[in-house]
Amino acid sequence: MDKPSTNESTENESTDKPEDKDILLVFRHAPYGNALAREGLEAALACGAMGAKTSVLYINEGVWQLLEPQNSSAIDCKNQAAMASALPLYDVDAIWVDEDSLKQRNLTGADINAGKIINHTHVQTLLASSKRILSF
Amino acid sequence: MLHTVNKSAFDNSALGDCLAVVSPNDAVLLIENGVYGALDNSPSELAHIKNIKQLSASGTRFYVLQADCEARGLAESALLPAVTVVDDAGFVALAAEASAIQSWY
Amino acid sequence: MNFALLILGPPYSTQASASALRFARAALSGGHGIYRLFFYHDGVHNASALVSTTQDENNLPQQWSELIEQHQLDSVVCIAAATRRGVLNEQEAQRLGKAGSNLSADHEVSGLGQLVDASLSADRMITFG
pLDDT tens column, B51-62: 999 999 999 999
What pTM does this model have?
0.95
Which pLDDT score is estimated for A14?
Answer: 55
Q: Which residues of C are catalytic?
A: 78
Interface-testing mutation among A42, A130, A134, with chain C (most C C-beta atoms within 10 A): A134
CB pairs under 8 A between B and C: 49
pLDDT digits (tens, 9 = 90+) for A3-58: 554 444 444 455 667 677 899 999 999 999 999 999 999 999 999 999 999 999 99
Grouping H, G, I as helix, E, B as strand and the rest as coil, residue C81 is: helix
Burial A95-122 (b: 16+ CB within 10 A, else e): bbbbbbbbeeeebeeeebebbebbeeeb
CA distance B50 to A104: 20
Alpha helices in C4-112 (DSSP H): 16-29, 60-71, 79-83, 90-96
Residue ranges in chain C whose pLDDT is less than 70:
none
Q: How many domains does chain A have?
A: 1
The residues, any chain, with a CB within 8 Å of residue C71's CB and separated by 6 or more, are: C28, C34
The residue-averaged pLDDT of A130-135 equals 97
Look at A36 and C41 and tell me if their CB atoms are within 8 Å. Answer: yes
Asked whether residue A9 is domain-assigned, the answer is no
CA distance C29 to A99: 42
More confident residue, A16 or B97: B97
Which pLDDT score is estimated for C84?
Answer: 97
Asked whether residue A11 is domain-assigned, the answer is no
CA distance C110 to C80: 8
Asked whether residue A86 is domain-assigned, the answer is yes
Q: Chains near A, with 3+ CB pairs < 8 A?
A: B, C
Please give the full DSSP string across A17-54, using - where no structure is assigned.
Answer: -GGGSEEEEEE-S-SSSSSHHHHHHHHHHHHHHTT-EE
Asked whether residue A71 is domain-assigned, the answer is yes
| Nearest beta carbon to residue C41 from set A21, A23, A39 | A39
Which pLDDT score is estimated for C3?
Answer: 98
Look at A133 and C40 and tell me if their CB atoms are within 8 Å. Answer: no
More confident residue, B41 or C103: C103
* Strand ranges in C1-129 using DSSP code E only, listed in sequence order: 2-7, 33-39, 75-78, 108-110, 124-128
CA distance A97 to A62: 9
Q: B14: pLDDT confidence band, cut at 50, 70 and 90?
A: very high
For residues C22 and B67, is the Cβ–Cβ distance under 8 A?
yes
| Closest residue of chain B to A129, computed from CA coordinates | B99
pLDDT digits (tens, 9 = 90+) for C74-111: 999 999 999 999 999 999 999 999 999 999 999 999 99
| Closest residue of chain A to B5, computed from CA coordinates | A135
Q: For chain B, positions 4-23, list CB contacts with chain A under 8 A.
A: 13, 17, 20-23
Look at A132 and B100 and tell me if their CB atoms are within 8 Å. Answer: yes
| Nearest beta carbon to residue B100 from set A59, A100, A130 | A130
pLDDT score of A1 more than 50: no
For residues A55 and A22, is the Cβ–Cβ distance under 8 A?
yes
More confident residue, B70 or A114: B70
Summary mean pLDDT of chain A: 90
pLDDT score of B29 more than 90: yes
For residues B90 and B56, is the Cβ–Cβ distance under 8 A?
no
CA distance B105 to B6: 6
Single-letter code of the amino acid located at B88: D
Q: Is B103 on the interface with C (CB under 8 A)?
A: yes
Query: Above pLDDT 90, what percent of chain A?
Result: 83
Q: Which residues does residue C7 pair with via DSSP β-bridges, in sequence order?
A: C39, C128
| Closest residue of chain B to A104, computed from CA coordinates | B17
pLDDT score of B47 more than 90: yes
Asked whether residue A43 is domain-assigned, the answer is yes
Which pLDDT score is estimated for A17?
Answer: 75
Domain encompassing residue A125: 18-135
| Closest residue of chain A to C85, computed from CA coordinates | A35
C120, containing H or E segment: helix C113-121
| Nearest beta carbon to residue C124 from set B67, B96, B105 | B96
Which pLDDT score is estimated for B43?
Answer: 64
Q: For chain B, positions 35-94, list CB contacts with chain A under 8 A.
A: none
Please give the full DSSP string across A41-107, using - where no structure is assigned.
Answer: HHHHHHHHHTT-EEEEEE-GGGGGGGBS---GGGGT---HHHHHTTGGGGT--EEEEEHHHHHHTT-
Q: Is B101 on the interface with C (CB under 8 A)?
A: yes
The CATH number given to whatever domain includes residue A95 is 3.40.1260.10
For residues A27 and A76, is the Cβ–Cβ distance under 8 A?
no
Closest C-alpha to B12, from B35, B44, B41: B35
Which pLDDT score is estimated for A8?
Answer: 42
The residue-averaged pLDDT of B85-95 equals 98
C118, containing H or E segment: helix C113-121
